[in-house]
Amino acid sequence: MTQTPLALLQQYWGYDQFRTGQQEIIEAVLEGNDTLALLPTGGGKSLCFQLPALARDGICIVISPLIALMQDQVNGLLQKNIKAIALTSGIRYSELDTLLDNCIYGNYKFLYLSPERLKQDIVKQRIQQMNVNFIAVDEAHCISQWGNDFRPSYLDIKTIRDLQPTAPCIALTASATADVVEDIVLQLDFLNPKIFKQSFYRTNLAYCVEHTTDKKYRLLQLLKQYQGTAIVYVRNRKSAVELSNFLTQQHCTSTYYHGGVDAREKTKRFESWRDEKTRVIVATNAFGMGIDKANVRMVIHYTIPESIESYFQEAGRAGRDGLQSYAFLLYNTNDFSQLKNQFIKSLPSIEFITHVYRKFCNYVQISYGEGSQMSYAFNFNTFCNTYALHPIQTHTTFLALDRCGVIRFVKQFAKKTTIHITASSAQVLNYTQHNRVHEIIIKTILRTYSGIFDDATAVNLALVAEKTNTNETTVIDVLTALQDAAVLTFNHALTDAEIILLVPREDERTIRRIQKTITQQQTSKIEKVNAMISFVENNTECKSITLLTYFNEPHSKPCMVCSYCKRNQATQNIPVDTITKAIQNILHQHSSLSSRALVSSLQYPEKDTLLAIQKLNERGIIQINSNNQYQLVTL
């Protein structure tokens, strides 16, 4: 007798009841309907296709753009003794042949693959032979050019519907506007679809956007004010390391997490944070996939994300247990230009993309008309230096070619060149005093890379060479000598990336075919960055309402807990005279305080407190002393 969904939930997941909306979605899939599920981050999307697949004979084919997420879900299924497999990049043809046979004859329940795999004849032929019960499309917004991360390769998913015309399809996403929903239904060829959308409104989550001139100080304030575990999101790896070290120095247990951290170390750091041995994890957007921690009390964006979709998903990792939680975004006036520089000004032109594509093909010696499905290892920095290419624009170019299905760009962080100084700082100083020729290189590395005494740190040898006005060969020789002297460990990797060509080399013809797509993607990127900036700058509307409006969910009732609602209440209820009197009272008690300390102590809106300080100063009631602090004027 077939087990009920609830029985399967209890057997494999150990839960006694479904989350809101899950059971209805699962029943729709089991009834054979094409189904679209829009669930917020942490809404339990994967269970909505994994459970019904277990309830039916056959194999479920899962399409996902994220190799790490595929592997994470496969590992999770294997731990439950459920047979699952992922076709990731780098698999040889003979191995691929065996794996696909296993899916036909080995009683596997799940086959995870990227949409690019659907271009391969062997994959299509074997899928046609499989007993497919369901097709699941994860991150379904990727199929829409209006989505946050459009991937043209997702358009090939229609192929699998032709190969398995009777298998129903479930598409899942955590964020989609009305245009994206319409596009998903169209592109996946849904018939009479069942569409489930759980409200994105979070009554327990306060969205707080704050302007501050001193982010580190404000960060420490927030961590003191609110208890519980926290995620702090930053834009790059260097910031993650530096900010984590700063928090540790301030006696706040912290670690960092980014794409360059070794996989084993990532697991160790995540588990320490999950088990609350570490309170704060400072991370890039690499931290997010597969996070299963319900009681995160606070998510703090230390820098502005590139889109509302990214912000909404990351902020949504707070308070999944339903208790009051906070999503803070700290910004200053410099953040807007930095955001535009990174995500708009770095967008490459079609001419530049064509140039980089041709140079790469020459670099790895691919003849015209050849190279399809071939894998090439190379060093990104060396490639950029060889052809005098701008690193950021070149990296963006490879990502664009990846999204358009021309290449698969795999950054092999484990193969990066790393340095770990094992000697003490005193020993390093002593060494430099007796080895003057190495002094400038050692000091440059110390000034450029923080945390190098604590852990193996990825370094850019070309950058070190440029800063020391020398060449990479000299830097390598010096680092090798330092390793021989037991000052440090030096792991020199000759490659740090892998590129798999998905189509034959055709130079301009290749780029012409994707030119329209790239232009649309870049226009969409600019619009999303500008929408994010507008969200931060908007001081005239409840933050929850602004977010819900962006996702086409009508909601007119203010949340009363976001930064706008709190500030609006304070402005209505607290006269300026009340704040000025409070400032005078606290200065009577403390003699003198900085403006920052006054804002922190009084707990009034920062803007209003600074205005009150200004008025008291203009009236001659308070003045700034030699320590740059405010004090009462004595008569």
Query: Within the chain, which residues score under 50 in pLDDT?
Result: 1, 413-414
CA angle 201, 207, 208 (to 5 degrees): 165
SS3 content of the chain, % helix, strand, coil (to 5): 50, 15, 35
Q: Tokens 């000091």 map to which residue?
A: 443
Domains 5-197 and 574-632 share a fold: no
CATH class label, 205-331:
alpha beta
CATH topology of domain 342-414+496-527: Arc Repressor Mutant, subunit A (1.10.10)
Say which DSSP state 255 is in.
Answer: E
Radius of gyration, alpha carbons of the chain: 27
Q: According to CATH, what is the number of the domain 5-197?
A: 3.40.50.300
Q: What is the pLDDT of residue 1?
A: 42
Cα(77)–Cα(322) distance, integer angstroms? 27
Which helix or strand (DSSP H or E) is residue 180 part of? helix 178-187
Nearest residue to 142 via CA among 532, 519, 552, 517:
517
pLDDT at 635: 63
Specify the residue for token string 């939680």.
325
First to last CA, the chain: 91
Tokens 């980014």 belong to: 258
Q: Which residues, listed in sequence order, are joined to residue 38 by a DSSP beta bridge?
A: 173, 197
**Distances from the Cα of 560 to the Cα of 151, 300, 420, angstroms:** 38, 19, 49
By C-alpha distance, which of 494, 298, 302, 356 is closest to 415? 494
CATH of 574-632 among 3.50.50.60, 3.10.450.50, 3.55.50.30, 1.10.10.10: 1.10.10.10
Q: How far apart are CA 141 and CA 313, in angstroms?
A: 13
- With vertex at residue 234, the alpha carbon angle to CA 382 and CA 251, rounded to the nearest 5 degrees, is 115
Sketch the domain layout of the chain as residue ranges: 5-197, 205-331, 342-414+496-527, 417-491, 574-632
**What is the spatial distance between Cα 551 and Cα 554, in angstroms, rounded to a whole number?**
9
Closest alpha carbon to 293 in 311, 318, 315 = 318
